[in-house]
Amino acid sequence: MIEIKKVESKKQLAAFVDFPHELYRGDKNYVPELHIAQRDILTPGKHPFHNHSSMQLFLAYKNGVLTGRIAAILNNNHNKFNNVSEGFFGFYDLYNDPEVSKKLLNEAEKWLVAYGATKMIGPVNPSTNETAGLLVEGFDSPAVAMMTYNKPYYLDLLTAEGFTKNIDLLAYDLPTNVVDKKSIKLKELLAQRLKDRNITVRNINLKNFDTEVKNILKVYNAAWQENTGFVPMTDDEFRYLAKDLKLILDKDFAFVAEYEGKAIGFALAIPDINQVLIKIKNGRLLPTGIFKLLFGKKKIDYVRVIALGVNKEYRRVGIEAFFYSEIIQRAMDKKIKGGEASWILENNEMMNNGLLKMNARVYKRYRILEKAI
């Protein structure tokens, strides 16, 4: 007997957050999310996503045993920005059971249809501005910071319920020992070209963090707006994300490009904190997890290029290439073994071609799926 229950209590929410720990027990590539971060993103009043949108969490029980979870998500900002009536699903985790999958997806679909949704898209947790995509290639290593991980059978379960590909998101691996050194050699030439155009590139100023965040948000919402699946971030959402990232930020990997003092582009690579989180049992910082986090940060030897964008009118003048050359040079200086550039839309020719020229290779592929409802 399969029973689907709405999450309506703190106890059920804790069960929802903790379920993956049991599901992935023994999987050496599973990285537990921090419990407090997952709890907050799912709780109205804690995360700014809930200020404009809503979600309903569901748990699946089979013969009284918790066997799966899902979130039905109504992103009002997405629908307004794109003039559509779409719904989303996320936090989709379960044992390999087609009946449980069917019932979870049906329950999420019913909830979305009641709000007028005509399409169901996912997984996103809870939007493309957070973690997104179903891992479909690259199960042989842990996900890096703020990237998803799932069982290989998830794709089969979703396909069986009528979901088809919307778009793929690519993750590139770029070890520092194989990177095309041409990008480094051209750095001075690129710097002069930018200077001739009154464009400067500098590190982010952590002492003026609030102002920096405000300016970078403008670039983010302008530079990414034509990307498939994009939805603008609100001031509150961006500040929330920036506050979290500041805890692990290395300013040597955070850059702002300016034209006559106005921000026109930015790039950010973050230390792969998952190298530490993978050792923190069940995502709990207390009693010992906090020490693993504090001391483990110093041993991280991999980064993730999480964002790199330039306003449309300033593209193709060398800013993107200069960003990458700076990140690569500093990674080498710090004895970092490499980095992941992710995620990159499969139809973003400029970014994909640029990475391939640097000898990066696609080593993980994530998929956004959709289904008419």
**pLDDT tens figures, 213-246:** 999 999 999 999 988 889 999 999 999 999 999 8
Do residues 128 and 264 both lie within one domain?
Answer: no
Rg of the chain in Å (alpha carbons): 21
How many CB atoms lie under 10 A from the CB of residue 321? 21
Helix (H, G, I), strand (E, B) or coil at 340: strand
Q: Which domain holds residue 40?
A: 2-169
**pLDDT tens figures, 284-307:** 865 566 656 766 788 999 999 999
Alpha-carbon gap, residue 63 to 22, rounded angstroms: 17
Using the 3D structure, point to which of 134, 169, 204 is the last residue of a domain: 169
Alpha-carbon gap, residue 137 to 148, rounded angstroms: 12
CATH label of the domain that carries residue 58:
3.40.630.30
Do residues 163 and 184 both lie within one domain?
Answer: no
Do residues 224 and 289 both lie within one domain?
Answer: yes
* The pair of three-digit structure tokens given for residue 332, joined into one six-digit string: 């080498």
**pLDDT tens figures, 66-81:** 999 999 999 999 999 9
* The pair of three-digit structure tokens given for residue 315, joined into one six-digit string: 């593209």
Alpha-carbon gap, residue 128 to 342, rounded angstroms: 13
> Would you give the DSSP letter of residue 164?
E
How many degrees, rounded to 5, is the angle at CA 105 between CA 99 and CA 107? 100
Alpha-carbon gap, residue 49 to 279, rounded angstroms: 29
Which residues contact residue 172 at a Cβ distance below 8 angstroms, ignoring those fewer than 6 apart? 340, 341, 342, 344, 355, 360, 361, 362, 363
pLDDT at position 145, please? 95
Query: Among 292-301, 323-332, 339-348, which is the least confidently predicted range?
Result: 292-301
Do residues 204 and 55 both lie within one domain?
Answer: no
Burial of 268 (0-12, 13-18, 19+ CB in 10 A): buried
Alpha carbons within 13 A on the beta-carbon side of 171? 27
How many CB atoms lie under 10 A from the CB of residue 319? 27
Do residues 163 and 249 both lie within one domain?
Answer: no
Do residues 143 and 269 both lie within one domain?
Answer: no
Do residues 287 and 317 both lie within one domain?
Answer: yes
Of residues 279 and 139, more confidence is placed in 139
pLDDT at position 82, please? 95
pLDDT at position 288, please? 62
Q: Domain count for the chain, please give it.
A: 2
Helices (H), the chain: 10-23, 35-41, 76-82, 98-114, 154-160, 182-185, 187-196, 209-223, 235-246, 274-277, 289-296, 319-333, 349-357
Using the 3D structure, point to which of 135, 169, 203 is the last residue of a domain: 169
pLDDT at position 188, please? 86
Do residues 157 and 256 both lie within one domain?
Answer: no
Do residues 93 and 190 both lie within one domain?
Answer: no
To which H or E segment does residue 201 belong?
strand 199-203
Alpha-carbon gap, residue 250 to 254, rounded angstroms: 7
- Biggest CA-to-CA distance, the chain: 70
Report the chain's mean pLDDT, rounded to a whole number.
Answer: 94
Given a cut of 80, whether residue 87 has pLDDT beyond it is: yes
Helix (H, G, I), strand (E, B) or coil at 118: coil
**Confidence (pTM):** 0.95
Do residues 182 and 201 both lie within one domain?
Answer: yes
Do residues 33 and 136 both lie within one domain?
Answer: yes
Do residues 350 and 226 both lie within one domain?
Answer: yes
Using the 3D structure, point to which of 169, 197, 215 is the last residue of a domain: 169
For residue 2, the cross-strand partners are 62
